[in-house]
Each structure stands twice: as C-alpha cells, then as structure tokens.
Structure 1
Amino acid sequence: MSKSSISDEFRNCKAITVVFGNDYLLNTIVENLSQDLSVMSKYRLVNQSFNNAIIHKIKKMHREVVIRKDFNCKAENTINFGSERRKDYDCKSCSIFLNCQRVTSNKISKLFRFLKSVVDIKIQRLVLIPCQVNRMCLDDKILHDLVLKELIGPNYNHLEDYMVMYDICRQGCDMCFRISENCLRYGPLQSLVLKRNKHYESLEIRDESLYCYVEMYLHKNFHKYTAANISKTILLRLFRLYANTITCDCLSLILSRGFESAAHSFPKALVEIIVSRWKIETLKLEFSFGDKPSYSLVPAEYRYFSVIKLSEPLDSHTSAIRMFGVFKVDFSSL
C-alpha cells in the first residue's frame, strides 16, 4: 500500500470521526433515516455514537404507541370461521401495525422484547385500534399478553393514556388494574377497574357495559324486581357496587349500533347518577360499530329499560336533573 493511499485513508477516518463526533450532524443524519425499525437497527452497527442516537430516536418514536390489527389473514381464509381459531401466533400471513410499522405475527414477540429490553421504551400513550371484522389467526388473549408482558412489562407506571384495550380484555385483569392506578385517561372501562378509588381526567365507558351491570344485578334478583318497580333507589344500590368512588372531568359514552337481539336500551337513570356522583364536567357521546359480545344479547323478558326511539317527541321523556351548558354529539365514527 502506497504512502498516499495510507494518508488518504487516515484523512477519511479522521473526517468520519469529526462527523460522528458532532452531535448536531449525527442527529441530522439520524432524523433523516428511514422510519422502518429493521433499517434503523442496521445503522446501530456503525459505531457507539450512532447506536446511542438510533436508540434515542426509537425510544422517542414509541412514547406513543398505536397498535392496529390487520384486517385479514390469507391463511385464515382457508379455515371455517365457525371453528376454533388457531391459538398460536406463528402465522406469517397475520400482521399488526405498530404505529406505521407492519409486523407479522411470528415476529411480534421478538420486536416487543427488543423495544422493552434493548431500547427500554417508556410508553406514555397506548392505543389499540380493533378491526371491525376479525379474520385473523392471532388470538386476542395472546395479543393482550404480548402487549402487557413483553412490550410494557414493569414500565406500566409511565402510562398516562391507556385506550381501547377493552376490546381484547373485556372483564379486566390484574395488569390492566395496575395500569389504571397511574393513568390520567383510561377507557373503555372494564368491570374490574370500575371498583377502584381514582380521579381521571378522561374516561370512556360503553353503553353495553352499563346495561350489563344493571342487567346482571337485576337478573340475580329477578324475583324482587320487574320493569314496573325499578327505581333510582335500586340503581343507586347498584352504583355503590360499581365505581362509587371514581371521579372524572370528562366522560365519553360510547353508543354501540346493534340490531335485533343484539340491540339494547340505555339505562338513562344510571347515567344521571354517574354524571352526578362522578362530578363530571364534560359529557361526550360517541358512536361505534363492531362485533357484539355474547353477553350483551339480552332476552326480551330481561329488557328492564324502555327503548328510546328517535321518532318520538322529546317532551315524552323525562329531562335529566343536571343540565350542561354545552352539549355536543360526535357522528364522525358512523
């Protein structure tokens, strides 16, 4: 090797060292890299400075995590939907979206462990967006456990927003309960979380949940109560069993679109009690459409609340005791 080539190589190494030693230049390079995690991970091998910058960017990107299940799975199309779904998550045709990153089911666990153990992400906001129609091999229980154990793990106390996990954990669990102790914004509420003492900035609750709480209580005491003698006293008694000490600034009531046997009436009297007891300042009405759980199929003999029809005049219904200065209805999700 000639002296000139050795000299050129030395100057190149020196220039590279100067560039990578400049935090401004290094951060500019990293900010313009691809958002694909598999691509970004390769640049960690350049040197220690690059590795630290890449790790910092990935951690910053995942302070807010939005998980969305893909709509369809080609492998699942060959399976009879009436039969039991596969309980593994090794299907290469199933995938989820983690923010903008598509991840196949067989790589979810590996990616989650990388984000938790190597990057040590601190998630502040976690949102799970469910599919309207679930045609995937990936089981909800498996996805739930992967998110809570392998993605969040012991860092659950950093979560401030924890939204829509209700769709894969309807009754609640110990981990969801622990997360709810630190959250400022939570929802939709599960039955387990309803029983704790906590003030929230924002809460979401589904109408089907409210109805089921009432229906289950009345069904156990069906020999005492009928549709004719249900009063606010009975609803207050029920309310003391569920969330008597919860308070929140803003409550979002999510109204589900149901048809025939899946349709149910809304316990307006219970909502009035909740608005008063929870010291709610803002009440939002939202609408959703999706799969209904089996326990919300209410038999006709247990429909304790009259169905409100939009065609009926408003003066035929009793007014709420508490009135709001501003009332808004969100139809954007319809």
Structure 2
Amino acid sequence: MVDANGRSVGRSMRILVTGGAGFVGSHLCERLLADGHDVIALDDFSTGSPANVAHLMRSSRFWLVEHDATQPFDYEIDRVYNLASPASPARYQCDPVRTAITNVVGTLNALSCAERHGARLLQASTSEVYGDPEVHPQPESYLGRVNPIGVRACYDEGKRCAESLVMDFHRQGRASGRIARIFNTYGPRMAIDDGRAVSNFIVQALRGEELTVYGSGSQTRSFCYIDDLVEGCVRLMEHPVELGPVNLGNPVEVTVLELAQEIVRLTGSASRIAFRPLPEDDPRQRRPAIELARRSLGFEPRVALRQGLYATIQSFRSALSGLGELPRRGEPAMAS
C-alpha cells in the first residue's frame, strides 16, 4: 500500500532488486531504503557498477550481492523488482544471445524465487515491446510492430517473452506479477558510455564534440526523469490488484533534434550537430499513453525536461571532471 505521496506504508519488507547496481536499480534501491525496507541488490556488474550504490553500503539494511541473474538464486523476500538486463542498444547488441537469455532465463529465475516465498514481482519491461509503432501514442492495448529477426530483437523479443512468463505465472496462481512498460528514462548515474541519446548528447556537448543525430532528427521520443519513474514503479508494485502491463513514462514528446539543441544550450557548449544514417529498426515515434497509470496509480510525471536535463548534466560534468576529461570550471547558468 502507498500513501497519498506514493510512499509505501505498513510493515517493513525485505525486497530483492535484480540489476540493483544499474542506473534505474540504484535509484530504486535508494527509494526503498528511504521507505524503511531491507533491500538486497543483485547484480553481475556487466552494465551496473558498485559505485552506483556505494553510498547505500553504510546502511545495515542494504546488501549488495554479485550474481548473474541467469543462474538460480533464492532469498526470503516479500517483493522482487526484476530489472536485470542491459537497456541501451549499444549494450544489448554487444552480446545479443546473452541479452535474450538474461531477459528470459533471468525473469524465470526471479519468478521462481517469488513463487517459493509467496512474493510479489514487478517486471521492468520496456516501450521497445511496441517496436516501430503504427499507433501513436502507444496504449497498453497496442500489440506492437516488432521485427523478430532484427538487430534489436534480442532485447525487444526478450522483453516480450519475459512479459509472457510473468502473465503465465500469474494466471497459474504461482506468483503475483506486475509489468511496467518503461519509456525513455534519464537522470544522474546514467553510464557515460550508455549509448542512448541523452547520455551521448551530454557527453559530446561537455567534451566540445559534434552531437551525433541519426537520420534527420525528426524522430520523436518522450523522456521521463528517474525520480518520476521510480515513483511509478513503487506505486505499481504496491497496487492491490494485477492491472496487466502499465506504461510508465512522460507523455511530453520532443524530437531528437530538439533534445540535442536543448542540451547544447544547457551545457553552454559550442558543439555543432552532425547527422548520420538512421540505425536499423530505429523507431520513428515513441510516446506513452499513461491514462491507465494516471487513473489506477495516481501517477503523474512532475519533473520537466529542462529541469531533469540540468540535474543530469551536473552529474555528468562531475563524473567527467573526476576522470580528468574536462577542465574544472563553474556550472553554466540555468537557461530561462
């Protein structure tokens, strides 16, 4: 159960977060600890990092376990947030077979653990299950337009199969499941080499390099700040009934070119924009319909894109300066 502010209330729980040292996972662990729960973060550090949760190690209610989610695991827990998977195309295409296995076998292992202990599970799915959509914005009822043999299929189809497993466990009464279809999320602790638009543009702008825009830049995305996403995930997990898949994201839509231009402004960079050929199966439009989340969860993104980008840029500037890649200087003024 959650209160009017979205905080989980009632008894303290023991919660497992697979992929807990990743970008989203680390913020989720932070939130769950703040809500008074015991948290186990499971991660093989293939894309996550112990540095993301180093500040949480001071808590006696937090445990970081190095483990590959494709191998069985078992903990006495009340909740499982299954986030174990590479998420950016650059990461998941490096080893597509492993990506598919992580999404399918890793989800099966998480469900089996939940089943053994009567725990509830939230599956971190993705807007990629909609593929290159013919319906815009994308409601949960849309079945998608996905290329099952394309270069992105290891992730897209892996997540679709994971959703199938969650629903079959639920229909068989084996484990109570929730599915969050997560749309583009950004914020502090994104990996510098993450490979997605926000991180790429920020790093390129701070280094004074050309910002690489694929295609004409007219393709659209909607960007959700990490705090808003975590809020939605907690609300969905603690909802008393299974809702089916629920979109979580920010419905404000911008073009990739507009995003690049805004990041140039916020960083005060002199970088120019360079256009490159569009990658295979890159979706033209991506925007969530969030009426179900609004109605059932009281979910509403609160962080505006400019505000979220500014916080993210500060985080990236600090990280790059720490690596000796940027001259130390004052932060740029917030754009009006």
Pair in the same fold by TM > 0.5: no
TM-score by length of 2: 0.30
Q: Which has the larger radius of gyration?
A: 1
Q: Which of the pair is proportionally richer in helix?
A: 1
Higher RCO (CA-CA < 8 Å; seq separation 6+): 2
